[in-house]
Amino acid sequence: MNQTIDTILNHRSIRKFKPEPLKQEHLALILDAARSSSTSSYLMAYTMIGVTDPEKKSALASISNQSYIKDNGHFVLFCGDYHRHMLKADEKEKETLAYNVQSTEYFMIATVDATIAAQNMTLAAESLGIGACYIGSIKRDLDLVNDLFQLPEHVVPLFGLALGYPDEQQEIKPKLPKEAVYFENTYKDDEAHMAALDQFDQTIETYYRTRSTNQREDSWTKQMIKTLHNRRNDRLTPFVKEKKFNNR
C-alpha cells in the first residue's frame, strides 16, 4: 500500500461541501494533474470550463434537482473539443479536418481524453482532502449548457465535476468484485459470471440495508435492470450531431 493506492481505494462521491471556494493553490494543482493525463495521438481533445459565476451555477443546478451543482467550492465542466485544432488551419485544411473529426473514432477519443483528465483531477483533489462528484445530469439539457458557455462547433459538453471541501462523511460504496470485472484471455461464461453477481448482490443488499443514510431494500442487479429500463434523453443524439461530432 502507498498513498496513491490509499487515495484511490478510499474514493467516495461527496455531495455536501463547505461554503468556501477551493484554495487557489489547490485549484492550480488539480488543473496540473488533469493536464498531465495521457491523451490519444497527443490530441488533448478536451476543454475544462471552471464555473464560479453564481448565476451560471444556478442555471446548471436548474437542470436537475441536485443542490451540490450550485453549492460547492468549484465546478468544472468537461467538454470534448476539436475547436482549437482547427484554429490555425487554412480554409482548405479546415474543411478536411471538420469532415474527419465527425467520425465515431474522434468522438470516442475526445470522450476518453476528457474522462482521463477528469479522473486525474478527481484523484488529485481527493489526495488534497477535496471531495468530488461527477455530474452527468447536465446531459438532460445540453442546449442550455451549450448556450450558457457559448460553446462553438466541435465542442460538446460531456459531464461536470462538483468539487469542494467535504461537509459530510460518506461510506465507501462497494464495487463489483474482481471476478465480475476482470477476465483473463477470454470472456467469462455466464454461469461463473452470474455466481460473481449473486455474491455482489448479497454485499450490496447488506450495504443498502445498513448504511447510515437513505437505507433501502435493493440489490445491484435489480437496480441496474431498473436503470436500464429508463429511456435516455432522445435529444442527445441530434445534439451531438449538430455539434459536428459522431456523424459518420
Ligand X SMILES: Cc1cc2nc3c(=O)[nH]c(=O)nc-3n(C[C@H](O)[C@H](O)[C@H](O)COP(=O)(O)O)c2cc1C
Least separation in angstroms between residue 118's CB and ligand X is: 8
The least distance separating ligand X from the CB of residue 232, rounded to whole angstroms, comes to 13
DSSP 8-state symbol, 174: P
CB of 154 to ligand X, least distance (A): 21
Dihedral, 18, 24, 26, 31 alpha carbons, nearest 10: 120
CB nearer to ligand X: give 102 or 119: 119
Q: Report the residue number, 45 or 204, with the smaller CB distance to ligand X.
A: 204
For residues 159 and 136, the answer to whether their CB atoms sit within 8 Å is yes
Nearer to ligand X, 103 or 137 (CB): 137
Q: State in angstroms the smallest separation of the CB of 221 from ligand X.
A: 15
Residue type, position 121, single letter: M
What b/e sequence results for 145-164 when a residue is b if at least 16 CB atoms lie within 10 Å of its CB, and e otherwise? bbebbebeebbbbbbbbbbb
Give whichever of 78 and 102 is closer to ligand X, judged by the CB atom.
78
d(CA 218, CA 228): 15
Please report, as ranges, the residues that interact with ligand X according to CB under 6 A: 11-13, 15, 66, 133-137, 159, 173
Task: Tell me the residue nearest to ligand X as measured from the CB.
Answer: 136
* Residues whose CB is less than 8 angstroms from the CB of residue 130 and which lie 6 or more positions away in sequence, other chains included: 22, 26, 30, 73, 163, 164, 165, 166
Find the shortest distance in angstroms from Cβ 129 to ligand X: 16
Residue whose C-alpha cell reads 486525474 in the numeric block: 120
C-beta closer to ligand X: residue 61 or 101: 61
